[in-house]
Amino acid sequence: MNKIESLLQTGARCTICASPFEVAHVSDKGLRLTDVNGGNSRFLDFQALQQLVEQDQLEIIYTPPLGNNASRAGLTDAQIKKLDYKLGYVRAVTRQTDKVGSRRRIAAIVRDFAQEIGDKSPPGVSTVAGWIKRWIEGGRSESALMPAPKPSRVRLEEPNELQKIILKAINKVYMNSQKNPISAVETEVAVEVAEYNCQAETKLKPPSAETIRRYIQRIDAYQLDAARYGKAYAKRHHRAAGRALYTTDPLEVVMADGQMMDIIIVEPDEEGGSPTDIGRPYLTLVFDVHTRCVLAAEITLAPFCGGTLLKAMRQACVAQPGKPRGIPDTLIVDNGADYQDSGFINAMRRLGTTLEVCPPYTPNAKAHVERFFRTLNEALVHKFPGTTFSNPREKGDYHSQELARLTLDELRAHVHTWIEQIYHTNLHRSLGRAPIDVWNEAVTKAPVNTLTAEDADILFRTTVSRTVTNGCVQVHDLKWRSDALRSWEIKQRQLGRKPQVEVRIDELDLGHVYVRTLGDEDIFLMADSTQPQYTKHLSLYEHKLLKKELQEKGIRERFERMQDIELYRLRQEYYAALGHADDKVARIRRDRLRDALAARALSGEPQTQEEPQSPKPSRDTNHTPSAESDTPISPPIKEDTQKSTEAQPQTGKATVFPVITGIKRTPR
């Protein structure tokens, strides 16, 4: 009996990603599960359940002793004794060897186990091998070794013609948003029965109103509400109150989430004029459930993505004196695509952190983080000039844009100071103590694991496989080079080996990458971009949008042949396309750059490779360089201009780092 069959009854329980669920209803399409710890109901079809089983993310924890599911509750004492006898030999073999198909290995283990338990008549090797096969095919469940259920206990009823008519009428008339009464179903059934009797030899008797009511009452109440009132109402109406997560150690359960902050920030004018509002920033939070401490609070202008979450986790895992930091055992994140980034998932896998994903539209699953956001807004953010408040009623006639005064760096400083000096040190209502005191006491009993800044910089990156060519690796039409990598490549080719490496990329900064050499020499080399000015603080998302912009302008084929300064100016010119098309930050910087380029072009002032310091924007874009022509948008680079770039990052330098072979975790 496989795992899915064990769940085909109300009351069965299982764990999905280590979270316990109970089967609330079984239908012909799938199961409706409820969170044992409280929360929303969720429906999983049989295909999704099968995928969870194949990924070893679903485990049966309870099967009611009813219906056609075998369980210990339905066995006699003799049958239970025989079952334990079989399980003893099966577990002895599977725990001591992975080669369950080796008869010689099984025979040795069976002989030793028989002597250990005093079994004078041990089973044969073929018998034990058969038990192991049934046990594995049955999802490693003891029910696979139980006696088959008696035919009389198996109740599989095929609906007759009258039942089919009733179910069809219910789905057609009752299970829709028109909210028809049961009497409408009775009428539909009567018409269907009359039509059937006109063509069939065996006549059907119309069911009574009470019979139809009983059929409707058998339907899952959640499905009824979802069909008649909508899924949102059904989820809200059937959601049970959740229980608080129980933890015993710090970092046992950590939550990560993001939220747009209730404040508008400004960018100061370079000429001393009035600052310009540039929109609302985003906060990515990493939060420890046991101590209620904030492990990381990353504030950026970029919306949530795998890169911002990696940056927050890098802050959370690097040790800092006096601050709560560490590698989480379990991390709970949203189910959005932003948090399903391959780089983030790979980093969690390397850390040995179990990743749990919350279902969509379930804020209660991360109630601790949501409550912190509320506390932060009420205690700090809503007191700043430029706050947007949380809803229009709170905002009233307050003009956020006109009163905004804080810059991004100032907001970061205020938030971090408030967390460290107020939130962490004040009495927490749920804990009865200050979070930092709970943390300091807990870590003395259960020491936490942390990373060095160097290891974290290597670990929290997206990994791709590439072949080294002339000391360079190429990803996304960008190249990074290293002289040490070239020497390693030559050595590998002399030995007749393919110079295959792992390239680890920081998606928020493409200035340099780490290259892990494979084979005899397993080390990390730092490779610098061959276009350092263009890739400095350039994100992968921006780079992809720029390539798309160039393709639309018809000059995509020139990308790899462009000089570094030319690519840099293209990056600046199309800033709005690089980041977010509707972002005020992108629009303001683009306009300032274009005004500066136009002013210098009119004055005849030569343009350098450094980023131009623009005057106050005049929004005059009549002199914007065009990217549609095949001519460069900047004057040709002269020899003396190239020599004046000593401050730019130098390529070819290689730094060797120790290989992260694994994180040793302290036993709880």
Cα–chain-centroid distance for residue 43? 20
- Model's pTM, two decimal places? 0.50
Q: Could you tell me if residue 316 is inside a domain?
A: yes
How high is the pLDDT of residue 137? 84
Cα distance between residue 423 and residue 295, in whole Å: 12
How high is the pLDDT of residue 398? 42
Are the C-beta atoms of residues 60 and 70 closer than 8 Å to each other? no
Q: Which CATH number fits the domain that encloses residue 407? A: 3.30.420.10
pLDDT (tens digit per residue) in 420-465: 999 999 998 888 899 999 999 989 888 888 988 888 888 888 788 9
- Do 360 and 335 lie in one domain? The reply is yes
Q: What are the φ and ψ backbone dihedral angles of 263, each rounded to 5 degrees?
A: -160, 150
How high is the pLDDT of residue 335? 72
Are the C-beta atoms of residues 309 and 339 closer than 8 Å to each other? yes
How high is the pLDDT of residue 648? 39
pLDDT (tens digit per residue) in 46-68: 888 888 888 888 888 887 754 34
Overall domain count for the chain: 6
Domain end (from 418, 453, 488):
453
How high is the pLDDT of residue 151? 40
Cα distance between residue 541 and residue 425, in whole Å: 39
- Do 282 and 383 lie in one domain? The reply is yes
- Do 321 and 439 lie in one domain? The reply is yes
- Do 444 and 471 lie in one domain? The reply is no
- Do 82 and 41 lie in one domain? The reply is no
- Do 230 and 259 lie in one domain? The reply is no
Q: Please report the beta strands in 334-407, taking only residues with DSSP state E, as ranges in sequence order.
A: 354-357
- Could you tell me the end-to-end alpha-carbon distance of the chain, in angstroms, rounded to an integer? 36
Q: Which residue has the tokens 């259920």?
A: 149
Q: What are the φ and ψ backbone dihedral angles of 472, each rounded to 5 degrees?
A: -125, 150
Are the C-beta atoms of residues 347 and 310 closer than 8 Å to each other? yes
Are the C-beta atoms of residues 561 and 579 closer than 8 Å to each other? no
Which candidate, 245, 232, 239, 282, places its Cα nearest to that of 262? 282
How high is the pLDDT of residue 482? 92
Amino acid at 619: R
Cα distance between residue 192 and residue 198, in whole Å: 10
Neighbours of 191 (CB within 10 A): 13
Domain end (from 148, 174, 189):
148
- Domain span including residue 56: 3-62
- Do 36 and 86 lie in one domain? The reply is no
Q: What angle do CA 576, 580, 582 make, to 5 degrees?
A: 80
Q: Could you tell me if residue 582 is inside a domain?
A: yes
How high is the pLDDT of residue 593? 55
Domain end (from 430, 453, 476):
453
Are the C-beta atoms of residues 251 and 376 closer than 8 Å to each other? no
Cα distance between residue 533 and residue 572, in whole Å: 11
Cα distance between residue 530 and residue 562, in whole Å: 12
Are the C-beta atoms of residues 35 and 21 closer than 8 Å to each other? yes
Residues in contact with 331: Cβ distance below 8 Å, sequence separation at least 6, in sequence order: 254, 255, 256, 348, 353, 354, 355, 356
- Do 315 and 353 lie in one domain? The reply is yes
- Do 424 and 479 lie in one domain? The reply is no
Are the C-beta atoms of residues 467 and 499 closer than 8 Å to each other? yes
How high is the pLDDT of residue 455? 85
Q: Could you tell me if residue 262 is inside a domain?
A: yes
Taking the CA atoms of 42, 44, 48 and 52 in sequence, report the sign of the dihedral they define: positive
- Do 9 and 118 lie in one domain? The reply is no
- Do 294 and 426 lie in one domain? The reply is yes
**Cα torsion for 590, 593, 598, 599, to the nearest 10°?**
140
Q: Could you tell me if residue 514 is inside a domain?
A: yes
Q: Could you tell me if residue 232 is inside a domain?
A: yes
Neighbours of 643 (CB within 10 A): 8
Are the C-beta atoms of residues 568 and 632 closer than 8 Å to each other? no
Weakly modelled stretches of the chain, pLDDT under 50: 1, 66-69, 150-156, 241-242, 391-401, 576-581, 605-668
Structure tokens at 230: 């909508």
H or E segment and range at residue 205: none
Structure tokens at 342: 């391959």
Cα distance between residue 286 and residue 256, in whole Å: 4
How high is the pLDDT of residue 272? 60
Cα distance between residue 665 and residue 329, in whole Å: 9
- Do 299 and 358 lie in one domain? The reply is yes
265-267 vs 276-279, strand pairing mode: antiparallel
Q: What are the φ and ψ backbone dihedral angles of 32, each rounded to 5 degrees?
A: -100, 125
Q: Could you tell me if residue 416 is inside a domain?
A: yes
Tell me 285's DSSP state.
Answer: E
